Structure formats: C-alpha cells, structure tokens
C-alpha cells in the first residue's frame, strides 16, 4: 500500500493518497486510487456550494445522481479538467 498517488485533478505525481475510499461503491474506490487527499478536501468544501447552487433536494433520487456527476466533473475523473484546476508543474 502506498501513501502517495498520481492525482488526476492537481496532476501531482506524489500527491497524498486518501488511504481509504471516501464514498461507498465503485466511485469511492476510483476516487481513492486517482484523487489525492488535498483535492478531495477541496471538493468537500465545494460540494456544499454546489448543493446550494443547484438547490439539490435529496428527497429526490435524481439529486444524488446529479451530485455524483458534479463530483466526477470537479475531480476530473472523466478526463475533462475540473472547474478550478491549476496545473502545477511536475517536479520531476
């Protein structure tokens, strides 16, 4: 088990790993293997704003799907850069 990963969002090759999946299911496993702990924390803060902005109501099952899609987009899991990504130069 390694402590660092190559993060798809910030692009760092030795970013701190989450250690364990932050969400249940396949998405949680994917995030743990591809997104660093710092970027996940950024999303934790952004998530609150996204929920407010989109007025997501979790009584509505589609709200969960929308939030998952926003999570993937923010973290750049589908290849598209996240909304506020700043490319940092790879130190190597």
Residues near Zn ion (CB under 5 A) are: 7, 9-10, 15, 36, 39
Nearer CB in complex with Zn ion: 51/85: 85
Ranges of H-type helices in 1-92:
25-34, 37-53, 61-75
Tokens of 22: 């932050």
Report residue 81 as tokens: 């850069």
Which residue, 31 or 39, has its beta carbon nearer to Zn ion?
39
Distance CA 65, CA 18 (A): 23
Nearer to Zn ion, 18 or 36 (CB): 36
Residue 12 CB, shortest distance to Zn ion, in Å, is 6
């Amino acid at each position: 088990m390694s402590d660092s990963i190559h993060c798809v969002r910030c692009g760092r090759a030795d970013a701190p790993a989450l250690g364990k999946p932050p969400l249940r299911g396949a998405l949680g496993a994917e995030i743990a293997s591809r997104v660093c702990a710092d970027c996940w924390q950024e999303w934790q803060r952004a998530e609150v704003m996204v929920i407010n902005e989109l007025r997501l109501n979790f009584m509505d099952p589609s709200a969960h799907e929308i939030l998952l899609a926003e999570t993937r987009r923010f973290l750049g899991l589908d290849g598209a850069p996240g909304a506020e990504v700043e490319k940092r130069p790879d130190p190597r």
